[in-house]
Chains A and B, each alone.
Chain A
């Protein structure tokens, strides 16, 4: 085991990938709790498709991908947020429209420039070799920004997620916090996309929080638990992909699926064990 790890970390590109990957999975897990609870999981999925389009365009124009992707994805995030908040337009249909459009634009641009080759596959399913030196520095800096902002906004994120109307009524500017969450999500997705792949990055947002919600009962424990799950799953996934020579993104998702099933089984067994006494307690409380 130790031998594998030392061998793995003797490759500089793998060290870079693991550092960025761990930071991105931490950010994604934190933001995911709020997005999943607000029923905004599809925004993450829509954003990753927009990211694919911008990545293709950036490669065609021969500029650094992050410089094009970040502003476009942030703009798309605000747009998707507005669409989801406005019940008059069908939110889910509009998100599907935007994500398929950007996917189509991306594919057309790629086929016109480099042709449909392994690049497309790398964009869609991720590649561990995609991390350059300058990317790593920017990714680390942006991840730290996301983590700091999340820590400072933690209580506001809770209030806005749990009950937006109450927050608004007591004078909290909920619009700004929703936009900040969308902004941070867009950055996280762009950072993680090339390693995890445009089709798989939203799993980093959705899986850890759903997994931890099987077992945890408090917002704070859900948040902490999902960040731990996310980081651990990523690390096991990367190591697994190194050992068995499987694609990184897909391997990480496989580990996340396993964790989800494990936690689900745990909560199921716990419920069965507590079932009888739980019903009695509930009746007693009702009478009080």
Chain B
């Protein structure tokens, strides 16, 4: 049984269909990249997978005992966060909150887990630094650490490299790939950086207001849509 299955799903805003005909599944341990141009329905699909938005038609199943509060999510940054007085540690620890339920305070194991994830991403030394004073790449790592605190199974990443310089972009890609390989956490990433996607992802889902491709990266690079989208110039 797959972790997430989309069956003939479509999503709409106020009756206007944004993306339709979604038929795919995410297996445990996959690294799936959702590609497509701006406005092709990628972020809408992520909202659907997170259950923040109900499908207009069709359905999305969760399998393998995956619960709604076991999904790690790396959202796009909002204006509020850019000027927020919080330490990297406070942000990371807040990822554990969904496991607390009604219990108001964090336990020792929550704090241990936050430390573990900050260390894993190489930012434990930055724990007391203010979030708004970190560089873009460091901020993304903090949010990734928070997402890891929330999950042991699946991470949904919404444009994780948007606004990062090339060095920070490669760093973050390597970090995500390492998490996938070493811990077996499933990765579902939305990105319009297709070259980065084919380099690291195992599977590609290409959207153009409908599903135009779903399969392995190797097949994608041979398909006509893949060749066109990649520009036919880079095959590294």
Contacts and interface: CB of A to CB of B under 8 A. Distances in A.
A156 interface: yes
Nearest to A155: B97
A132 interface: no
A218 B73 contact: no
A285 B135 contact: yes
B71 A162 contact: no
B104 A37 contact: no
A32 to B, nearest CB: 13
A75 interface: no
B50 A169 contact: yes
A170 B71 contact: yes
B176 to A, nearest CB: 17
Nearest to A285: B135
B97 A162 contact: no
Contact of A158 (B78, B94, B133): B94
Interface in A230-249: none
Main secondary structure of the interface of B (DSSP, over half): mixed
Nearest to B133: A217
B97 A165 contact: no
A213 interface: yes
A242 to B, nearest CB: 35
Main secondary structure of the interface of A (DSSP, over half): helix
A163 B133 contact: no
Nearest to B129: A217
A171 B70 CA distance: 9
Residue in A155, A167, A168 with the greatest tally of chain B CB atoms within 10 Å: A155
B97 A218 contact: no
Interface string B148-163: 0010000010000000
B91 interface: yes
A136 B146 CA distance: 44
B69 A219 contact: no
B138 A285 contact: yes
A217 B97 contact: no
B223 interface: no
B189 to A, nearest CB: 15
B85 A170 contact: no
B75 interface: yes
A105 B124 CA distance: 57
A38 B78 CA distance: 11
Interface residues of B, number: 37
A159 interface: yes
B78 A170 contact: no
Interface string A98-129: 00000000000000000000000000000000
A286 interface: yes
A228 interface: no
B100 interface: yes
Given A38-B80, A163-B81, A170-B71, A218 B87 contact: yes
Contacts of A168: 50, 52
Nearest to B105: A155
Contact of B100 (A155, A163, A216): A155
Nearest to A225: B85
B90 interface: yes
Interface in B90-130: 90-91, 94-95, 97-98, 100, 104-106, 128-130
Given A158-B94, A159-B94, A162-B94, A170 B150 contact: yes
A152 interface: yes
B135 A170 contact: no
B49 to A, nearest CB: 9
Contacts of A169: 50-52, 71, 73, 75, 156
A282 interface: yes
A220 interface: yes
A162 B104 contact: no
B80 A172 contact: no
Given A155-B104, A169-B52, A219-B90, A213 B85 contact: yes
B166 to A, nearest CB: 12
Contacts of B84: 37, 162, 219
10 smallest CB-CB distances across A and B, nearest first, come from A171-B69, A217-B130, A170-B98, A169-B73, A169-B50, A219-B86, A218-B87, A152-B104, A159-B94, A171-B68
Given A39-B80, A158-B94, 13 more contacts: A37-B80, A38-B80, A155-B104, A155-B106, A161-B80, A165-B52, A169-B51, A169-B73, A170-B72, A170-B150, A217-B87, A218-B86, A285-B135
Interface of A: 37-39, 151-156, 158-159, 161-163, 165-172, 213, 216-220, 222, 282, 285-286
